[in-house]
Every structure is written in structure tokens, then in C-alpha cells.
Amino acid sequence: MGHCLAYLPYYFLERLKERHEVLTQTVELLAIENRHIAAENRERDKRLGQIMEGISRLVHVAEIHEHRITGLEGTD
């Protein structure tokens, strides 16, 4: 197949080179954007974990208070 390229017109080869360069740049930009999004997702996951941990603590406190109130109501 490589020998067939010798028969292609020069302008066609130049056009293919230009398109290849543009595609290469596009892939590089997409890779950079993907790394940026991945970093944002990691940070978001970290914050979400902290929020879930806080909610879990609040639920625990609410359960303790509920048991306490139930115990007080039961002694009256």
C-alpha cells in the first residue's frame, strides 16, 4: 500500500498532512480536557464523601436524641 502513495498528487498528500495535524491537535486538546474533567470529578467525589459522612453523623445524633426523648417520655 505504501507504494501507492507515490502516485497521489502532491496537493492531496499535503491536504492529508494538514488534516492529520488538525486531528492530532484535537486529540491533544481532548486529552487535556479529559484530565481536567477527571480532576474535577475526583474533587467532587471527595466533597460528596464529606457530605455523606456529615449526614451520617447527623443521623446518628438524631437517633441518640430520639432514644433520649423516648426514654424521658416513658418515665413520665
DSSP alpha helix (H) spans, 1-76? 10-75
The per-residue pLDDT for 32 is 98
Q: Is 1 helix (H, G, I), strand (E, B) or coil?
A: coil
pLDDT per residue as tens digits for the range 15-72: 999 999 999 999 999 999 999 999 999 999 999 999 999 999 999 999 999 999 888 8
For 36, other C-beta atoms within 10 Å of its C-beta total 10
Q: Which residue has the higher pLDDT, 11 or 53?
A: 53
pLDDT at residue 3, rounded to an integer: 60
